[in-house]
């Protein structure tokens, strides 16, 4: 019986690996379509995709020059309203940063030639 259990475990790991590879390939295809490149992330894929789509829509709606403040505000508002408060967004073609973020709330990516840093911080209620 022990041999059968080991074989089932081996097959399960193999199938899990195939599923993970397929998901990674699908994510890469999605990112390529939006012209996105993830630089660093500690964020679930569903939230990453929301950020990519929001950024792409905003960039596509801009005629002419990049309005980095408008893009940053749109991303911040999107994430504040859908994921709770205290999201921060920095947008530009060149910037440095060093931030502390909440677990699962960090994404640094580029789309076209624009770099976007989106991160969440904890909010502590003020004592009166």
* Percentage with pLDDT > 70 across the chain: 99
Picking from 25, 68, 71, 27, the residue whose alpha carbon sits closest to that of residue 49 is 27
Q: Please tell me the CATH code under which domain 37-128 is placed.
A: 3.30.740.10
Residue 120 confidence (pLDDT): 97
Residue 121 CA to residue 113 CA, distance in Å, equals 26
The HSE-up count of residue 74 (CA atoms within 13 Å, CB side) is 19
Instruction: Give the residue, 28 or 3, on which the prediction is more confident.
Output: 3
Tell me the domain boundaries of the chain: 1-34, 37-128
Facing residues of 114 across strands? 111
Tens of pLDDT, residues 59-81: 999 988 999 999 999 999 999 99
Instruction: Read off the pLDDT of residues 81-106 as tens digits, 9 standing for 90 and up.
Output: 999 999 999 999 999 999 999 999 99
User: Is pTM, for the whole model, over 0.95?
Assistant: no
């Amino acid at each position: 019986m022990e041999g059968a259990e080991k074989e089932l475990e081996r097959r399960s790991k193999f199938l899990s690996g195939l599923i993970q590879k397929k998901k990674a390939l699908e994510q890469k295809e999605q990112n390529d379509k939006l012209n996105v490149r993830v630089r660093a992330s500690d964020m679930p894929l569903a939230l990453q995709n929301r950020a990519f789509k929001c950024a792409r829509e905003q960039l596509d709606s801009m005629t002419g020059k990049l309005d980095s403040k408008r893009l940053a505000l749109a991303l911040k508002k999107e994430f504040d309203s859908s994921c709770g408060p205290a999201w921060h967004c920095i947008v530009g073609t060149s910037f440095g940063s060093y931030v502390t973020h909440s677990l699962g709330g960090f994404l640094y990516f580029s789309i076209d030639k624009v770099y976007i840093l989106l991160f969440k911080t904890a909010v502590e209620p003020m004592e009166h």
